[in-house]
Structure 1
Amino acid sequence: MRRSPSRRRFLAGIGAASTAALAGSPTSASAARPPAPTKQPLDSDIERLVDELVETSLAEHDVPGASIAVVSDGSRTVTKGYGVADRTTESPVDPEETPFRIGSVSKPVVATALMELVESDVIDPDADVARYLDVPIDERENEAVTLSDLVTHRGGFESTNRGMWIPNEDDLRPLESYLRNDPQRRVRPPGRIGSYSNFGYALAGQVLAAHADEPFHRAIDDHLLQPAGMTTSSFRQPLPSSLAEAHATGYGPTERYRQGEFPLLGLRPAGSMSATASDMGRFLELHLNDGVLDGERVLGRGTIGAMHERWATHHDRLSGMAFGLIEKFRGDVRTLWHNGATLSFYSHLVLVPEYDFGLFVSFNAPAGSAAATDVVDGVLDELLPNPETASRTPDGPPHRADEIAGTYRSTQRSHTWHDRVTSALNAATIDVHFEDDGTLVTDRDTETERWVEIEPLVFERTDGNRRIAFGREEGAIRYLFYGGSPTAFARVEGLDRLSVHGMVVAATVLGTLSALVGWPASALYHRVLTGGESAPQSWQTAVTNDVVRAKLLAIGSIGVLYVSSFTIVVHFLATPLVVLSDPPTTFRALFVGTSLGAVGTIATAGVAGYGWICEDWDLFTRTHYAVVTASLVGICWLLWYWNLLFPPGLV
C-alpha cells in the first residue's frame, strides 16, 4: 500500500529523532524538515565566471584538465571541457565525449534509481533490507538494517578497504561475490550513528540488481542511465571499449592511468561510474526539473522531491542527509552535494534547489580536490547571498564542559580487517578543549576553530556559520557531530589511544632488544672472563643448560615476530592496493611467521613460569626473562589489536 506524503516525511525524520535523543535534545519530524524552497532568480554571467575560476584553478594546482556542467533555470547553461584529457597526446577535454571517473558522485546516481523504486512502492525504505537482498547481511542483536540506513550511512558497518581497489582486471569478481564472501562487520547498531560506508552503498546497489535480476551495471543502466539519455556514462568494469578509448587519463600520485586502465572497484555502486560532463548535466537537469528531461517524464512525479527531503540527521539543530545527498547551508540557503575521489580523479556535484541551480565539476588528478573547492566555492559565493556573520562570545561556562573535553576520532575506520592500523592513522582526529572564557576550541590537523554553546551540548562557530553537537551514550558524552557530515566522531579512550600504543611499542622494543643484544653480549663477556671455552664445550653447554635453552626460545620467538612483521610491511608497501583490498596468497602466507611467533610467545611464558620455581635460575635471570616475556606478549597484543597476528579474514 502506498505511503502518504505525511507518512514519508515522518519516516524521513525518524533517524534525526532517535539520534537527537542521544545528544540530549528533543526533536520532531517537522523540526527536522527543511522548509519547502521558494525559487529565487540568478543574475550573473555564469559562463564567464566558470571560465575564470576553472582556468585559474588548473594553473594554480597543476591539474591537466576539467569537465564542467552547469544547470540554471532548469536547463544547461554551461557544458565545457578545459585543459587536456591526456598530457602526452594533448587531446582536449570534450564535454560530450570524454568520460571522467566520478568516484563517490556515483552514490547519488544509485540513490536516484533506488528512490524511483521507493516511490513506486516496490521497496519500503524502512523495512529490513535483507528482504530484498540475495546475499547475507550481518545481523547483530536482531536489529535490522534498512535501505534508508544504508543510503544515509547509518548501517552500522565498519569501514575497510576490503573489495575496493582491484588493479588487475582478471582479479575482479562480481559484486555479489564481494558482498557474499567478503562481508564487512556491523560494529554498532543501525540507524543512529553515521559512518561513511562504501560497503553499505554496495549493499544498496545490490538491492537494485536483485530487483532487476541482473548484474548491477546492467540494472542501473536499464533503470536510469538509458532512460535519462546518459549514453556516455557507465558503471561497467572494465568500461566498454568506446568509452575506455575516449576516457580522460587519470594522473595519480605516482602513476598515470590511460584508456580506462585505472584500478577497478569491487564494490561497484560505491564509486565505479565514469561519465561525461554532458551526461552529468542531464543528471542535474533531472534533479532540478522533478524528473523531467527534454519535456518527457523520466522519473515518477514526486521522486526527486522525496529524495531531496532530509532523511537523517545527528541532531535537529544540525544539517543532515537527504537520500544520497549531503545537506549544507550557506546562510539560509540549503544546498545538496556529494563529492568523489579516486586515485587519479576528483569530482564534485552540488544542487541549490531554491535557486534552480546545479553544478558538476570533475578533474583528472587528485589535486582536483583543491581545484574543485576553488571553483565550487567561487561560483556559490558569487551567485548566492553572502551568509550573515555574527561574532559570538560565551555568556557562561558550557554545559558538562569537563565531560566534553578530549580527543575524538572519525568512526569511519576498520575494526576487523588488517587495514585497521592504516585506517586509524588516516582517520580524522579532533582535539577538544575549552578556553578560560568558556569558548570551545577544536583542533583538527592544522585547522583551529572556536565555538560558543547555544544550547546544552550544541555549539555554533563564533562567526555563526556552522554548528556541532555532542551525543551521549549510556549517560556519557561519546560522540561529536559536525553539521552536514554523515560521519560522527567517537571519543578516544583507554587502549584506543594511539599514545598508549606508542608507549607499548617503545617498551616492547627496549625489552626485546635487551634480549637480542644483552644476552649475546653477556655470553661473550663471560667467555672472555673464563679465558675462552672451546666451541664444542660451548655447544654442549647450550643444549643442556635450561637457562640457555630458554633464552634461545625467547630470541627465536622475537626474531620470527620481527622478521615476519617486517616482511608484511614490505609486501604492503610494494603492492598496497592489492594488500588492502584483496590480499593475495603471498601476503596471507607471511602470517605463518606471526602465528608461529605467537606460539613461541606462549611457550616462552610457560618457561618464564618454570623459571620462578626452578632453583637453578637466580633472581636477576628470572626477572629479566619475565621482562623479555612481557615484551613478547606486548608485541603479540599489538599485532592482535591491529589484526596483524593471523591471516586476513581468519578471525
Structure 2
Amino acid sequence: MRQSLSRRQFLAGTGAGCAAVAGVPLTATADTRSSSGADGSAQSDIESLLDDLVESSLGEYDIPGASVAVVTGGDTVLTKGYGVADRATGRVVDPDATPFRIGSVSKPVVATALMQLVQRGEVEPDAGVAEYVDVPIDGYDEEPVTLRQLVTHRGGFEATNRGMWIPDAETLRPLESYLRNDAQKRVRPPGTAGSYSNYGYGLVGQVLAATADEPFHRAIDDALLTPAGMSRSSFRQPLPQPLADAHATGYGPTGIYRGGAFPLVGLRPAGAMSATATDMARFLELQLNDGRVRGERVLEPGTIGAMHERWATHHERLSGMAFGLIEEFRGDVRTLWHNGATLSFYSHLVLVPEYGLGLFVSFNDPNGSAAAGDVVDGVLDDVLPEPDGASLSPDGAPSRAEAIEGTYRSLQRSYTWHDRVTSVLNAATIDVRVASDGTLVTDHGNTTRRWVEIEPLVFERVEGGQRLAFGERDGEVRYLFLGGSPTAYDRVDGLERLRFHGLLALCTVLGTLSAVVGWPAAALYRYLRLGSTAAGGDWRTLLGRRTTRARLVAGGSAVAIFAALFLVVGHFLAAPLVVLSDPPLTFRVLFVGPVLGLLGTLAAAGIGVRAGSRGEWGRTSGAHYALVVGSLFGLCWLLWYWNLLLPPG
C-alpha cells in the first residue's frame, strides 16, 4: 500500500530555499501539494508518502488525529495535520496552531538548552549536580551523581510514579518542591547500569532553572523556546489560555481531556511540553543546522555537534546515547531519536544527521505508539539504504551458554515506593535461551528473535543490525544490554521471581481463609448440631479460653489485612493517578489495616505459643493454628516486600 519513494527522489531539491509549509488547517484528505519545481516535486513525494502512512495508521488504530513535521536538507519541507483535534466538534488539526502533548520528547528539548550552558562553560557535565541545585539527592554523599549520568539515564535512581501525574493545577507544586520533598531513592551506583529516569530529568531541568535563577518554565522559554521562535510551545502548567483553547483533545483509558485539562506533570522537564508541528519543525531545523533556524543562529556554534556525540553506552560494541537522544543504527546509518507517551498522547522524533533528515509525528491517543512505529519505519525504510541482507549463522554454542540463560527484567521499576507492584508487573522481561544449533533465542512478549555471538557476551541478530550484550557483576553475568536502550535488564532469580510470589500469595491466602471462614463455620456447625453446652459452653466460657482468644486475634488480623487491601485497591481504581503519584491522606490512612494486621499477627503468635506451652491445643487444632499464623506472617512479608505494609513515606 505504501508508495515507493527512492532516497534520491525524497531528498532531491530540498536544500536551500525550501520554506516551511503552513497555513490552512488540513484534514486527513486535504491536498496541499506544491505546484512546480524541484522543491515542489520533492514535497509532493514526501506528502504522498506520509498521507499513505498516517491516514492508514489513523484508521487501523482508531486514532482521532495526528500532527507531522518533516525537515530535509536542514529546511522544513512539510508540516501537516491529519484527522481531527476533537471528535465532538470535528475541529481539524492545524499544524501551525494545534498543540499536542509531546511527553518525553520534552527531554531532548531540555537537553538542548542545557548543552548550550555546557558549551558556554557555565555548567560542567562531569561535576556533581549538587553543585548547581539546592535539593537533597539520595546517596550523593557516598558517590556524587553528574549531569552526564542524569542526561544519559545512569543516575542510579529507581523509577517510580512519584511526582509524575498531578490531577489539577490546585494540587500542583513547584518543580523544586517535588525534588526536595519527594526525592526518589538511588538503588545502584551512578554511571553503572542505566535505567530510564523521569526524576533524573527533573534534576536536569532544575540545573537549568537554578543557573537562570528563575522557575523552570521561564528558564526554558528564555534559553531556547523564545530564541528558536517556538511561540506555540510551552512547559507552563496550566497552559496559557490561548494554547489551552487550541490544544488537541487527548483520548485515553483514563478519560477525554479537552482545553488543556489533561493530568499535569510534577516533574516538568520529564514530559510537560506541548507543541505544534510547526514549532517542532523549527526544533528539527535547530538540530540539523548546527543551532540555526531559518538561517538565524540560536545556539552557540558547536552546541549541536557536541550534543550529537555519543555520551554513554553500556558496551563499546552497542549503540548508546547522545546528550538527550537515543542512538540507533539502521544498517550503517546512524539515527538519533526519542519518543514520548502520556496518558492520552504519543509522539516520536527522529533525526538522521547524515542525510539532513528530521521527522516528528504526534497523535492524540496512546495507540499512537503503534501508529508512530509504522510511520517512522515506513519513512526511514523508503529513505535510507537497505541494510545488508546477509544472514548470520552460529559457529558452535556461545562461549558462556549456561551463564547467560535465564530471565531478565527491566531496571526501570520501583523499589521503595508503593507502586512497586504495578511497576514490576509492567516492567519488560526478556527470556534468554540457547537453541540446539548454538543461536541465542530471546522471547520478549510476543516477539522471538535469534542472535549469533560475534565476540564473548556480544550478539548480533541473525538478520543483522541490532546487537545485545551481557554484563557482569562480581564475576557473574547479571545484566542484559539491548542495543542503544538507556535501560538495562537484570537477571531475575531467587525472591524476585513472580512465580514464587504468586505461589506464596495463594498459599497464605488459603491458609488465612481457612481461619476466617473455617473457624466460624466449625463453631456454628457445633452449635447447631450439639447445642451450646456440648459445643463448649456459653460465650463467657469460650472467651475465657486462651485458644479462643488466640483464634479471635488471628482471625481479626486476617480481616484487617484483607479489608485494607480491598480498600487500597478500590481507592487505586477510583483515582489511579493520585494514588500512584501523590497519595492523599484518604489513601494513607488505609494502611492502618496492614499495621494492625502485623501487630495482631505478633500477638496471635505470642498467645498461641503460650497456650501450646500449657497443653491447651489439641494436635490437629494446634497444627492448624500454626498454619494460620504462619500464613499471616507470609502475608505480612509479602506486603512488606511490595511496600504495602506501611503508608507511603
**Letter aligned with residue 53 of structure 1:** L
Contact 2:526 2:535 in 1 (8 A): no
Determine whether 1:472 maps to 2:472: yes
* 1:302-340 deviations in Å (ceiling 9; x for gaps): 000000000000001111000000000000000000000
Alpha-carbon separation, structure 1, partners of 2:337 and 2:249:
25
Q: Which residue of 2 aligns with 1:568?
A: 568
Q: Which residue of 1 aligns with 2:406?
A: 406
**Letter aligned with residue 557 of structure 1:** S
Change over 3 Å in CA distance of 1:145–1:254 after alignment to 2: closer
Contact 2:232 2:243 in 1 (8 A): yes
Q: Which residue of 1 aligns with 2:554?
A: 554
Alpha-carbon separation, structure 1, partners of 2:520 and 2:219:
67
Q: Which residue of 1 aligns with 2:18?
A: none
> When the two structures are superposed, what TM-score results if normalisation uses the length of structure 1?
0.92
Q: Which residue of 1 aligns with 2:261?
A: 261
**Letter aligned with residue 214 of structure 1:** E
Contact 2:75 2:294 in 1 (8 A): no
Contact 1:47 1:77 in 2 (8 A): no
* 1:584-611 deviations in Å (ceiling 9; x for gaps): 1100010011111111011112123223
Contact 1:611 1:622 in 2 (8 A): no
Q: Which residue of 1 aligns with 2:484?
A: 484
Identity in percent: 68
Unaligned ranges ≥5, structure 1: 1-38
* 1:58-93 deviations in Å (ceiling 9; x for gaps): 122111111111000110010111111111111111
Q: Which residue of 1 aligns with 2:629?
A: 629
Q: Which residue of 2 aligns with 1:217?
A: 217
Q: Which residue of 1 aligns with 2:543?
A: 543
Alpha-carbon separation, structure 1, partners of 2:450 and 2:250:
38
Alpha-carbon separation, structure 1, partners of 2:430 and 2:612:
47
Determine whether 1:307 maps to 2:307: yes
Q: Which residue of 1 aligns with 2:55?
A: 55
Q: Which residue of 2 aligns with 1:273?
A: 273
Q: Which residue of 2 aligns with 1:117?
A: 117
Q: Which residue of 1 aligns with 2:380?
A: 380
Alpha-carbon separation, structure 2, partners of 1:600 and 1:616:
20
Contact 1:61 1:367 in 2 (8 A): yes
Contact 2:97 2:232 in 1 (8 A): yes
Give the SS at the match of 2:533.
coil
Q: Which residue of 2 aligns with 1:185?
A: 185
Alpha-carbon separation, structure 2, partners of 1:606 and 1:121:
65
Q: Which residue of 2 aligns with 1:12?
A: none
Contact 2:311 2:321 in 1 (8 A): yes
Q: Which residue of 2 aligns with 1:42?
A: 11
5 Å-filtered alignment, 1:547-626, equals 547-626=547-626
The structural deviation recorded for 1:169 is: 1.5
Give the SS at the match of 1:533.
helix
5 Å-filtered alignment, 1:425-464, equals 425-464=425-464
Alpha-carbon separation, structure 1, partners of 2:94 and 2:429:
40
Indicate the larger mover: 87-96 or 278-287. 87-96
Q: Which residue of 1 aligns with 2:392?
A: 392
Contact 1:172 1:266 in 2 (8 A): yes
5 Å-filtered alignment, 1:144-159, equals 144-159=144-159
Contact 2:10 2:46 in 1 (8 A): no
**Letter aligned with residue 208 of structure 2:** L
The structural deviation recorded for 1:524 is: 3.2
Give the SS at the match of 1:313.
coil
Change over 3 Å in CA distance of 1:588–1:531 after alignment to 2: closer
Determine whether 1:76 maps to 2:76: yes
The structural deviation recorded for 1:47 is: 2.0
Alpha-carbon separation, structure 2, partners of 1:608 and 1:542:
15
Contact 1:40 1:356 in 2 (8 A): no
**Letter aligned with residue 210 of structure 1:** A
Q: Which residue of 2 aligns with 1:15?
A: none
Q: Which residue of 1 aligns with 2:29?
A: none
**Letter aligned with residue 361 of structure 1:** V
Regions of 4+ moved over 6 Å: none
Q: Which residue of 2 aligns with 1:288?
A: 288
Alpha-carbon separation, structure 2, partners of 1:59 and 1:395:
46
Change over 3 Å in CA distance of 1:325–1:464 after alignment to 2: same
Greater RCO structure (CA 8 Å; 6+ sep): 1
Alpha-carbon separation, structure 2, partners of 1:514 and 1:254:
38
RMSD over equivalenced CA pairs, Å:
1.6
The structural deviation recorded for 1:139 is: 2.1
Indicate the larger mover: 81-90 or 134-143. 134-143
> When the two structures are superposed, what TM-score results if normalisation uses the length of structure 2?
0.92
* 1:249-306 deviations in Å (ceiling 9; x for gaps): 1111252110100000000000000000010000000010000122221100000000
Change over 3 Å in CA distance of 1:458–1:524 after alignment to 2: same
The structural deviation recorded for 1:519 is: 1.8
The structural deviation recorded for 1:612 is: 3.2
Contact 1:202 1:270 in 2 (8 A): yes
Contact 2:560 2:593 in 1 (8 A): yes
5 Å-filtered alignment, 1:16-31, equals none
The structural deviation recorded for 1:534 is: 9.1
Contact 1:164 1:267 in 2 (8 A): yes
Alpha-carbon separation, structure 2, partners of 1:304 and 1:605:
65
Indicate the larger mover: 52-61 or 268-277. 52-61
Determine whether 1:496 maps to 2:496: yes
Alpha-carbon separation, structure 2, partners of 1:530 and 1:236:
74
Contact 2:418 2:648 in 1 (8 A): yes
Alpha-carbon separation, structure 2, partners of 1:567 and 1:41:
58
Alpha-carbon separation, structure 2, partners of 1:264 and 1:521:
51
Alpha-carbon separation, structure 1, partners of 2:373 and 2:645:
41
**Letter aligned with residue 470 of structure 1:** F
* 1:168-221 deviations in Å (ceiling 9; x for gaps): 211101000000000100000001111000000000000000011111000000
Q: Which residue of 2 aligns with 1:202?
A: 202
Contact 1:389 1:465 in 2 (8 A): no
Q: Which residue of 1 aligns with 2:28?
A: none
Q: Which residue of 2 aligns with 1:21?
A: none
Contact 1:250 1:257 in 2 (8 A): yes
Contact 1:478 1:490 in 2 (8 A): yes
Contact 1:173 1:266 in 2 (8 A): yes
Contact 1:336 1:350 in 2 (8 A): yes
**Letter aligned with residue 67 of structure 2:** S
Alpha-carbon separation, structure 2, partners of 1:487 and 1:107:
16
How many residue pairs get matched? 611
5 Å-filtered alignment, 1:88-107, equals 88-107=88-107
* 1:503-524 deviations in Å (ceiling 9; x for gaps): 1111101211221222223323
